Chains A and B, each alone.
Chain A
Amino acid sequence: MSTSVKKRVTDIGPPHYEQFLPPVIKENYGKWKYHEVLKPGVLVHTAESGEKLYSVRAATPRLASIHSIRLFADLADEFSDGYLRYTSRNNVEFLLTDPDKIDPLIAKLGAEGYPVGGVGAAISNPVHTQGWIHCHSAASDASGVVKALMDELCDYFTGQKLPAKLRLAFACCLNMCGAVHCSDIAVLGVHRRVPKINHETIRTQCEIPTTVSACPTGAIRPTSVNGKQSVEVVEEQCMFCANCYTVCPSMTLNDPEMDGVSIWVGGKVSNARHEPMFSKLAIPYLPNNPPRWPEVVDAVKHLVEIYAANARRYERMGEWIERIGWPKFFEMTDLEFTKYHIDDFSHAGLSFRTSLHFRHQ
């Protein structure tokens, strides 16, 4: 460590992207004219100059070893002059100028276990969080649920057979390190037990006032236990958000029996046709059942299939539900509407219906 100190540099920032751009991009930067989808997972962009860039998109599990990154580097050398990029949804894209190399590349990616797709009216690669791989507040595993889901839904990635794009996302707790709150279908890890307070460690691990003020509902109060400073939780005010745990490790929420996931539908971020919107609650709770989470897989597959069979062309999940109405959605999906579906936090009243504009089922 001491030898590196004398040459130490800081605040150099990331390398400039220009050095990683293929010549066809450098020459046509800002001068692209249009693009087409040649087949699932393959885009061709045509520049004003007439030059063409072919992008071949393959899924990755996001968790990538140096082994597979080196494999992608080798494939890039063989097929795309060494140039590649990643997408905002953890796909890898090879940037080709020779269209004759597209099919051999797809074949090789397939042989290595990386399906090509995720373009257009498809399920793109789900964005997801760390889960039990690496996170302290995870209420479920992320990589495992996503793998189990996409093994069942892979044909929707490699094909383009949905009414519109479908964005699937997973976050393992309410911190939502993935943007699940605006996804067509979101799977969200939830805790359902009040924090277990470790009165022995709380004084050394946590600041009591910070812990008390972390609670959005005021459920945490200072108290003394056996003459020592600690906190207590008013159980009926706890909504299991884990804010207290974020600032205080002595307030654990993880629980093998009570933790699980909830499922949310109908969010989007693009402005196309309909404004961006949040996802809304469809299923309040499903259990953790590793390694394949069958209840979660069945529920998501069911939602995808009903959407695929009933939405109109270009209609995203949320647009379809808005057209048919939420009562119809619950009827068609055979999901139970419970009191948990009715918001009771800060802006709850905004979601109450104030008109007779609904369809009688």
Chain B
Amino acid sequence: MSQKERKTPLVDELEKGPWPSFVKEIKSVDNPKAKDLLGVLERSYQDKIGHWKHGGLVGVMGYGGGVIGRYNDLPDEYPNVAEFHTLRVNQPSGWFYTSDVLRKLCDIWEEHGSGITNMHGSTGDIIFLGCSTEELEPTFAALTELGFDLGGSGSCMRTPSCCAGMARCEWACYDTMGLTHDLTMEYQDELHRPPFPYKFKFKMAGCPNDCVASVARADLSIIGTWRDEIQIDQEAVREYANSSELNVLEDVVERCPTGCMRYNGQLEIDDENCVKCMHCINVMPKALAPGKERGATILIGSKAPIIGGALLSSVLVPFLEMEPPYEDLKELIEAIWDLWAEHGKNRERVGEFIQRVGLGNFCDEIGLDVAPEMVIQPRTNPYIFYEMDTADY
């Protein structure tokens, strides 16, 4: 398609400077879609307004998720991005790649789309940005031939994601990549065909540092922890103490949130009062390590503001061993889904659903015993919904 060269002085300004330039990225692709994309962006920089419309119902056959429809509101001026849909391509756990597989993904996207991607989208998928409606199905066919599939969108289970876990971290308290792959494969139907009132996200973090922001961004946050003693190498502690980089008293002992540490040439930790915050381990990685009795805390309900306000996840199961085939976890997940899918309102995330029905009632319904770890403190208000048919209060 022949095309006049557009002038884009405003966005060209963002080719300058030390930080990698997305404008250079767009310009590096010799593709009419990329050229029109830059033109639309220049227009937005002039108008101070976006020029994209809501998606319609587009997708690949048999899937209700994985494609986000996107249309331009100036199709006559920017015909090559009139249809500019997103394909969410399910990433491999931990975002590990070989050069070979990346090149093959690029070849597919050069042939079928704009040549522009996000590495990666906010939920974790490889994002192919800018596909016409008629190219959706051929792109999908090429992806599946390479061994890739689409991720989730809409009221689906969303593409689970995780930290690098045991692949490259001594703090991983369970196999985050293994669990992520396992759950993704187990729930392909929920990933591709929306069965829920709204989206449902999983994020697997290997330790309480939570490098994937699980506690803020996942309906079910699975965060690694341990319940025995922190492992200490006293000789290595002394090496830190003798180095100029660290003051063990000031930087470690005094920063412990529960004050459960002492140092006098020998590090003592009152592990019964340790809350597994990770600080001491973070700053002395050669000397300290999480304990040996490892598993995860399961938290539920975090989300961004829409609709009823942002939530952090809160504790649902204080400690769960995390070994394949993860039967206890899957039983829990399915009990949650059954309840929420039946009783959740349209566009009500599970966290908001729990706020509405009450965490105690929610636990009753999914058959989970309540525990004091679930709350910061017991209730302070006396408006209690006593249930007269329970004999044991």
Which positions in A face B, CB cutoff 8 Å?
Answer: 1, 4, 7-17, 19-21, 25, 29-30, 32-36, 45, 53, 55, 59-70, 72-74, 76-77, 82-88, 90, 92, 95, 113-115, 127, 129-138, 141, 143-144, 147-148, 150-151, 154, 157, 171, 174-179, 181-182, 210, 213-214, 216, 241, 243, 246-247, 249, 254-257, 259, 267, 269-274, 276, 278, 288, 290-292, 313-314, 345-347
Contact = CB atoms under 8 A, between A and B. Distances in A.
Given A32-B168, A127-B122, A313-B251, 8 more contacts: A45-B168, A63-B129, A65-B117, A69-B119, A88-B163, A92-B119, A257-B48, A276-B210
B196 interface: no
B98 A12 contact: no
A63 B51 CA distance: 18
Contacts of B168: 25, 32, 45, 53, 55, 95
B148 A174 contact: no
A177 B124 CA distance: 11
Contacts of A69: 102, 105-106, 117, 119
A272 B90 CA distance: 31
Contacts of B106: 66, 69-70, 73
A-B pairs with lowest CB-CB distance, top 5: A151-B17, A176-B304, A73-B99, A271-B208, A67-B28
Nearest to A80: B99
A33 B230 CA distance: 14
Interface residues of B, number: 124
B305 to A, nearest CB: 5
B21 A113 contact: yes
B51 A132 contact: yes
A348 to B, nearest CB: 10
Contacts of B184: 13-14
Interface in B175-228: 175, 177, 181, 184-185, 188-189, 192, 208-217
A246 B306 contact: yes
Interface string B288-305: 010000000000000011
Contact of B309 (A10, A82, A154, A346): A346
A181 B10 contact: no
A13 B188 contact: yes
B147 interface: yes
A267 B215 CA distance: 12
B215 A276 contact: yes
Contacts of A66: 29, 106, 109-110, 115-117
B61 interface: yes
Contacts of A274: 257
B170 A61 contact: no
Contacts of B263: none
B141 interface: yes
Interface string B334-346: 0000000000001
Nearest to B113: A66
Contacts of B24: 113
A17 B116 contact: no
Interface string B38-81: 00110011011111111100000111000000100000000000
Contacts of A33: 170
B361 interface: no
A296 to B, nearest CB: 13
A162 to B, nearest CB: 15
A154 B134 CA distance: 41
Contacts of A147: 14, 17, 19, 21-23
A291 B11 contact: yes
B25 A68 contact: yes
B266 to A, nearest CB: 20
Contacts of B175: 30
A148 B210 CA distance: 28
A272 B119 contact: no
B118 A64 contact: yes
Contacts of A178: 122
B164 A85 contact: yes
Contacts of A256: 47-49
Contacts of B244: none
Contacts of A131: 50
B137 interface: yes
Contacts of A19: 98
Nearest to A343: B309
B380 interface: no
A13 B44 contact: no
A174 B306 contact: yes
B265 interface: no
A132 B84 CA distance: 13
Contacts of A74: 99
Contacts of A70: 102-103, 106
Residue with the greatest number of chain B CB neighbours at <10 A, chosen from A53, A143, A255: A143
B144 A10 contact: yes
